[in-house]
Structure 1
């Protein structure tokens, strides 16, 4: 019990309240006494008061609190003998077991389940057994629990020698489902033969039993099959029959039991089908997430069977929860095969069409997930690209920029890998381009138009798209002072308002003829009212100061004009196109240098636009080759490198499921004839069991070797108590198995392990005390909860009492450091997602590079290995001997936290590396812990 008590009462105050006649005051006093006992206080002076004033009370709440008090107090002395005053309690317990009220009997029986002192229980056994025939089912079911607790005691066979026969007879006569369940569980634990006999005698009634009784049957089957694996076949048939139960809990447990007992394809297929039905039938999102986790485990072990159930798994996409949809898509993408890819893509296309009409607030995020899934499908199976690329291009103008970026990256990759689709993609892109309003999406779309427009018609169409996107030139309007309004009204198109009416910023300028004029940049153009027509997309973005896009526009115009020249068009047309391109570039330069925009023209964009003008004015063969061929070759190499890496990862993943040359070949007909006719399920289970026995020893040896490597020594060899711990980290839980060895010649009493934690670690329970004989050992298990990815420390003592010591002795334990590497694992995320998270996360830890490693690439590889992260930067991008490297690393923790790392390292000469490692995370703990890990490990 975990009870918050800000102000504890004294023993005298509690005693005074107990001696009064007010029942409410007695209840409060008993609660305070129980809280003090649970806090470690001993209150021996209250015992007689409670016997005199609380035992006679007839109030049910007081009696319940009395039992809680009796459970918490010490019932034995230092030698382990029961205290004499407990005789008074035994008489009261006997009276309660014979009380006319069934509630008093029931709670007393439940209390006896938690008593371990046999001297207290022995005189109560006849009264406990008599309650098996009580008229009320509440008493009978608790009587069975009390008998089960008696049987678990060391002398349980002496206290209730005929418990098995008694419970078997009770089970045959009982009608209450809960009582029958408790009785069956007792027989399962203490007499499996009787439990199995009862099960097969009533097998025809199994379908109409209650769900809790069916769950008890499943527990019986699990226990029996562990001890008698040869008899699994007939029990698996019972589980398959229980799969038809109307209870969702029973069917889930059936599926879990099936997969734990048998690896036969028929059993796995039945379990997967059960999970899929639960996925659709259950409305609770937590249940669906748990079922998806089970399906994920089945996918890892039985990929072939799960591929058959893939379309059933996809039905979970109907849930509005994004986590469920994300897990479903992750499972789906791992199970794609040439046989099911068409059906999967069809389902994804229907879902993405549904997001257009749905009014969900998180519809754009779901659409982004679907776009990414379709992209993965097209990369793995190029034959479906043609059927999805045109559908996805409708979402280039998606208001969610990350979704539109996924689409345009997909289009760019398809253009590179599928030359046959380029003409139709370019035509569709030209039609869709005016609706694109995101700068990064526009930049990538311009690159595609400039790089893959091959014919004269395609080049001219691309030039027309860019010209329409820029709108009428110049971008910077010049107005004479005399007729400013007239000139503005005359020169501006009908759809665009004048600079004067829009409040554009103005300043005096000197014209070529020496007269003064005012210049205005129409910076408010993107803020037009929704009712009016929108300005062209390129013009809108340029007029808010996006000059990086201006450089992309200039480069695309240059490529298109150069390609037009390589196609042999007439000189007049080529010169006209070149002049128009240079005019547009000059207009962008004048806009940037006007000073009227909030963002000035940066040097990089100015140099790029100037280089484009120089190339257009005097194209040289070498420069034309760089623009038209080398740029494409660089992207082709990057794409092929990405495909080869993905193919290698997929091959390594799928190699686990391939049959090996020395695998056992089972001939079912021969086995059936030899064994006298077994069912298909029994044949499959027999074969998989043989394989498990054949390979299990190697797996067990490997597991034991891993376990020995993780043993931590907590005390010295000369200490009177030697202790070592094996720490298991499993997501949110840390389990410490501490082995304690008494190295003295004395019996150590009240030995306990006292632990404390630092960081986001919390002890779940208080550890009990033990008595250790000379040379004896004991394994003490401590459970610790973890709430975040931080490096925590566990420290503590072993406290004990020796026979020759008046005071307690203490052995200090070595500290146990919980490493962050146990919580994080390498993960993959898109470049756009990485950049968005980098901009969003507020916690940053900057670590200066200080290492003895002299090679840039070797240092980067060392950091990747030390931090257990994945490098998102392609290997080809890290090639070369420039002495500088910049890479992005990414990992996710078991708590769903993202860890982002950017490594920028430079060889300064003389064998010295310099630079910084920047870590970003949403929480401070993971940023600091990773920084400490890198600081410790970076020297190599």
Structure 2
């Protein structure tokens, strides 16, 4: 049921009329016999499409020979040669069909045609012909074309000679001498290139001699010939390791003198495959960097950067001097290219070049601020900040300068970028204690210009955790006091509004009266239907956005209704007061700070309960602020127990900082683990055997296969040969029966899943004693699936077999169903017969792969995605970790939460985040919250979020399936 991997690949023909319906054989015959040239072209295209799907259409061969072959229309002749490629040329006994004699005569005439393009097209067809009986008659005409005046004919003639010799060497026994003579006499670069390719395949010694003769003038040769020289050198060096040093020297000379991008790329790849010398690899990487900067295609840039990364992985540290050169690629506008260049550069940063790298990144960051109107500049700015962050964490000598640099940019950054800077400062201030005082001072200087509430909350947390002595605490308090502004907030704002209204009273008194009248046109009705009352404080007009934006940051956040930031301020105040009290107990300054703190917090509650703000204070923030006020008041109680005092200090002064220390330590351990894994990739085991070329047998290749050829083979054939999925047993598991054994037509399908499509290889068996006429299979789909084209009609003899292939395009990782039926004509005027097919369910797990992302990106996507599927969990599995393992196995999702945070195997509560990405770029997020109840069951919820509804529902079905499978009753024995 599988397609042979060694089967010849034919030229593909685009079908512009795929929605026009299927043609029958009589319709094809009529169009070829009586149609115009345009109609014949359309019919030939449709015939080619049908034959490529597996239907040979033997009834049309004579019609094509009679009515298409004599035509002089060039489009029709081109399609005719496509037809000769795929038409079965042998009969059932394996002998050449008699009709092919007529075809041979027509091909011979075309090989002698006065038009050079018809000759060249015919010669190109011969390179795809594998029947020696047909080729035998073409040899004289092909040899005559080697001396043709036009290079277009000669370049295909030499390839035809090579192809004929490979099919059957006795047809052109002197092919090696012919190609060698042709190569010496030829002047056209394309013809010389093709001839050298043929000579390298047939006669290595002759190709080596030709290479030696042209070594001195290799710089002046055409780039096409240079590129084929490089390919020959790479393959021959792999086969003959003793010549590798000479070949490497020659490749270095070619690389230094080459001007063609193709030659530079091929030569650099060859040096990467053959040499491990750091200086040679650095030279190759330098040329690749110049190539990445010079080319305009972003895909080419990414490919070249991948090769540079391969060189760095092969010899770590050899490209250290090229770090700044790689950063030249940042001139590209594409974000993928920039991200790739920064990732490679970060692997090369050391203490010797870190200063220069930071200066360059600083310049790039300044450019993004000055060109903020450009698209993607904000995303690029965040990428630069993330990169600078990673550098500063590694190298303490630049941490202070980097902090100063990023803090200076905070006023111009977006909310996400500013909060990223604050997160970075948290990590630096924890990791490098000697920089804390300086960082706190610089942070206090820029906090007034922070516009993002999220970033300001992070800055407040830093003040509360790392302001330790009395002097630092007083500086922090001065900032907080200035940031809140004049208190009480509510009365101050009302006075300011009244003052502004008095100033404008003379100008627009009538207008304001009208506004007030229109605003207070009736009583206030509450949601429950009762009448409500308003105080004088509630009846004032609200401030405009411009007036609020001009206020200090904390006051601005409060008036905008952001009381979560106010609750963080309350916690920060408690931390500062507790630390200040430890240092200077009973001080008048301490009492003043406490009194002013309570005034600020009470003022925040008052303004949060008024209508002066857009959104009233929420219960959680209110509770936290009230708790802070009670702690401040409790400090004056002399009867307070020391244990209560210790609990408060532990909760506010020790718990959060210790949690952050654990988080930083986990991050450090994670990066160390990643670097160790990278080191293991290139590390060689101690017991690896030493191979001596001098003791190896002649002709043996101890260096193994050519890595570039191996990559090419994997790209063509895939990795199926190495996986267990290629075994016969696993293939049998993928065969789906579509009908029953008692149906007149038995059908089964072998389902092959590729990245963006599903291929159904369907086998039909006629189980009756009659010929089934006009039999065809119709498929339809549910979900984001699309049938590319339904198979054509055919006749199936009694107990005969028919095979067809159906391709289904998949556009998203959604649950899909393929269904259909088989239709064939009844006998003696009976109605058509139908056989209903079983459904084929497409498994979405083939398209979902586990992925990794950081917590910030996860939270951003979680808030942005609108589709959520919440599934209740109730399972009999023995532990919470066992359910997590089953969930990961069933949904193909990756665990984002650190293993240290998941708890022990016998824990009673478990919460973690999971993330997966589909082949179509769709993101799937999941949050698992489960616990063990008193009966020992695993209960809780799984919340799945995605951008589209289909993916969320499909993954929800998989989660529900896990519960069903775990609750099945298993029989120990019968």
Q: TM-score range by the shorter chain?
A: 0.7 to 0.9
Change over 3 Å in CA distance of 1:275–1:655 after alignment to 2: same
Task: Give the TM-score of the pair, scaled to structure 2.
Answer: 0.77
Please state whether the residue corresponding to 1:106 is helix, strand or coil: helix
Aligned twin of 2:938:
913
Segments of structure 1 that go 5 or more residues without pairing to the other structure are: 491-498, 510-514, 676-685, 693-702, 741-753, 768-779, 797-811
Checking the alignment, whether the CA contact within 8 Å between 1:54 and 1:66 is kept in structure 2 is yes
Segments of structure 2 that go 5 or more residues without pairing to the other structure are: 1-12, 504-511, 525-532, 696-700, 708-718, 738-747, 764-776, 792-803, 821-836, 967-974
Alpha-carbon offset, residue 317 of structure 1 = 1.6
- Tell me whether 1:554 sits opposite 2:567 in the alignment: no
- Tell me whether 1:293 sits opposite 2:309 in the alignment: no
Change over 3 Å in CA distance of 1:613–1:533 after alignment to 2: closer
Of residues 86, 92, 99, the one that matches 2:100 is 86
Change over 3 Å in CA distance of 1:895–1:267 after alignment to 2: farther
Aligned twin of 1:801:
none
Change over 3 Å in CA distance of 1:298–1:870 after alignment to 2: farther
Of residues 121, 124, 142, the one that matches 2:156 is 142
- Tell me whether 1:834 sits opposite 2:858 in the alignment: yes
Alpha-carbon offset, residue 349 of structure 1 = 2.3
Alpha-carbon offset, residue 892 of structure 1 = 4.2
Aligned twin of 1:751:
none
Alpha-carbon offset, residue 557 of structure 1 = 2.0
Alpha-carbon offset, residue 370 of structure 1 = 1.1
Alpha-carbon offset, residue 448 of structure 1 = 1.2
Give, in whole Å, the separation in 1 of the partners of 2:164 and 2:780. 37
Aligned twin of 1:124:
138
Change over 3 Å in CA distance of 1:760–1:149 after alignment to 2: farther
Please state whether the residue corresponding to 1:916 is helix, strand or coil: strand
Q: Deviations over 1:718-759 (max 9, x none)?
A: 99xxx9999998x779999x9x9xxxxxxxxxxxxx999988
Give, in whole Å, the separation in 1 of the partners of 2:602 and 2:359. 48
Aligned twin of 1:901:
926
Q: Deviations over 1:409-436 (max 9, x none)?
A: 1112222222222222222222211111
Alpha-carbon offset, residue 60 of structure 1 = 3.4
Aligned twin of 2:268:
255
Change over 3 Å in CA distance of 1:13–1:897 after alignment to 2: closer
Q: Deviations over 1:600-622 (max 9, x none)?
A: 32222111111111111122533
- Tell me whether 1:38 sits opposite 2:52 in the alignment: no
Of residues 414, 419, 439, the one that matches 2:428 is 414
Change over 3 Å in CA distance of 1:45–1:882 after alignment to 2: closer
Give, in whole Å, the separation in 2 of the partners of 1:35 and 1:690. 43
Of residues 860, 879, 897, the one that matches 1:873 is 897
Checking the alignment, whether the CA contact within 8 Å between 2:494 and 2:540 is kept in structure 1 is no
Of residues 540, 546, 549, the one that matches 1:528 is 546
Checking the alignment, whether the CA contact within 8 Å between 2:189 and 2:222 is kept in structure 1 is yes
CA RMSD for the aligned pairs?
4.8
Alpha-carbon offset, residue 408 of structure 1 = 0.5
Checking the alignment, whether the CA contact within 8 Å between 2:720 and 2:726 is kept in structure 1 is no
Q: Deviations over 1:897-917 (max 9, x none)?
A: 433221111222211111112
Alignment of 1:194-205 (within 5 A): 194-205=206-217
Give, in whole Å, the separation in 1 of the partners of 2:176 and 2:79. 33
Q: Deviations over 1:347-377 (max 9, x none)?
A: 3223222222234222221111111111112
Of residues 135, 147, 165, the one that matches 1:151 is 165
- Tell me whether 1:213 sits opposite 2:225 in the alignment: yes
Checking the alignment, whether the CA contact within 8 Å between 1:713 and 1:725 is kept in structure 2 is no
Checking the alignment, whether the CA contact within 8 Å between 2:457 and 2:568 is kept in structure 1 is yes
- Tell me whether 1:593 sits opposite 2:606 in the alignment: no
Higher alpha-carbon deviation: 266-275 or 604-613: 266-275
Checking the alignment, whether the CA contact within 8 Å between 1:886 and 1:903 is kept in structure 2 is yes
Please state whether the residue corresponding to 1:134 is helix, strand or coil: coil
Change over 3 Å in CA distance of 1:852–1:78 after alignment to 2: same
- Tell me whether 1:161 sits opposite 2:178 in the alignment: no
- Tell me whether 1:573 sits opposite 2:589 in the alignment: yes
Change over 3 Å in CA distance of 1:270–1:891 after alignment to 2: farther
- Tell me whether 1:856 sits opposite 2:863 in the alignment: no
Change over 3 Å in CA distance of 1:381–1:26 after alignment to 2: same
Aligned twin of 2:294:
281
Alpha-carbon offset, residue 158 of structure 1 = 2.0
Of residues 601, 604, 607, the one that matches 2:620 is 604
Alignment of 1:313-462 (within 5 A): 313-359=326-372, 360-462=374-476
Of residues 120, 129, 136, the one that matches 1:115 is 129
Checking the alignment, whether the CA contact within 8 Å between 1:137 and 1:179 is kept in structure 2 is yes
Q: Deviations over 1:103-157 (max 9, x none)?
A: 222222222223333333222211111010011111111211222221232xx21
Q: Deviations over 1:73-94 (max 9, x none)?
A: 4433322332323322322222
Aligned twin of 1:494:
none
Alpha-carbon offset, residue 454 of structure 1 = 2.3
Of residues 891, 914, 924, the one that matches 1:889 is 914
Give, in whole Å, the separation in 2 of the partners of 1:328 and 1:422. 32
Please state whether the residue corresponding to 1:832 is helix, strand or coil: helix
Checking the alignment, whether the CA contact within 8 Å between 2:31 and 2:43 is kept in structure 1 is no
Please state whether the residue corresponding to 1:873 is helix, strand or coil: coil
Change over 3 Å in CA distance of 1:115–1:601 after alignment to 2: same
Q: Deviations over 1:156-183 (max 9, x none)?
A: 2122111111111111101111111111
Alpha-carbon offset, residue 918 of structure 1 = 2.0
Checking the alignment, whether the CA contact within 8 Å between 1:412 and 1:448 is kept in structure 2 is yes
Aligned twin of 1:96:
110
Checking the alignment, whether the CA contact within 8 Å between 1:561 and 1:574 is kept in structure 2 is yes
Checking the alignment, whether the CA contact within 8 Å between 2:107 and 2:122 is kept in structure 1 is yes
Q: Deviations over 1:434-471 (max 9, x none)?
A: 11122211111111122222233322222222222222
Give, in whole Å, the separation in 2 of the partners of 1:399 and 1:631. 27
- Tell me whether 1:227 sits opposite 2:252 in the alignment: no
Change over 3 Å in CA distance of 1:255–1:756 after alignment to 2: farther
Alpha-carbon offset, residue 835 of structure 1 = 0.8
Change over 3 Å in CA distance of 1:376–1:864 after alignment to 2: farther
Task: Give the TM-score of the pair, scaled to structure 1.
Answer: 0.79
Give, in whole Å, the separation in 2 of the partners of 1:763 and 1:335. 49
Checking the alignment, whether the CA contact within 8 Å between 2:778 and 2:790 is kept in structure 1 is no
Give, in whole Å, the separation in 1 of the partners of 2:435 and 2:514. 46
Checking the alignment, whether the CA contact within 8 Å between 2:238 and 2:703 is kept in structure 1 is no
Aligned twin of 1:714:
731
Q: Deviations over 1:653-678 (max 9, x none)?
A: 43555576567999xxxx99x99xxx
Give, in whole Å, the separation in 1 of the partners of 2:299 and 2:563. 48
Give, in whole Å, the separation in 1 of the partners of 2:565 and 2:623. 14
Give, in whole Å, the separation in 2 of the partners of 1:240 and 1:726. 49
Give, in whole Å, the separation in 1 of the partners of 2:28 and 2:286. 60
Aligned twin of 1:743:
none
Alpha-carbon offset, residue 525 of structure 1 = 4.1
Checking the alignment, whether the CA contact within 8 Å between 1:345 and 1:374 is kept in structure 2 is yes
Give, in whole Å, the separation in 1 of the partners of 2:227 and 2:805. 28
Checking the alignment, whether the CA contact within 8 Å between 2:268 and 2:287 is kept in structure 1 is yes
Please state whether the residue corresponding to 1:396 is helix, strand or coil: helix
Q: Tell me the number of residue pairs that the alignment of Structure 1 and Structure 2 aligns.
A: 852
Give, in whole Å, the separation in 2 of the partners of 1:235 and 1:710. 39
- Tell me whether 1:537 sits opposite 2:553 in the alignment: yes
Alpha-carbon offset, residue 649 of structure 1 = 3.7
Checking the alignment, whether the CA contact within 8 Å between 2:313 and 2:682 is kept in structure 1 is no
Checking the alignment, whether the CA contact within 8 Å between 2:273 and 2:706 is kept in structure 1 is no
Aligned twin of 1:170:
182
Please state whether the residue corresponding to 1:454 is helix, strand or coil: coil
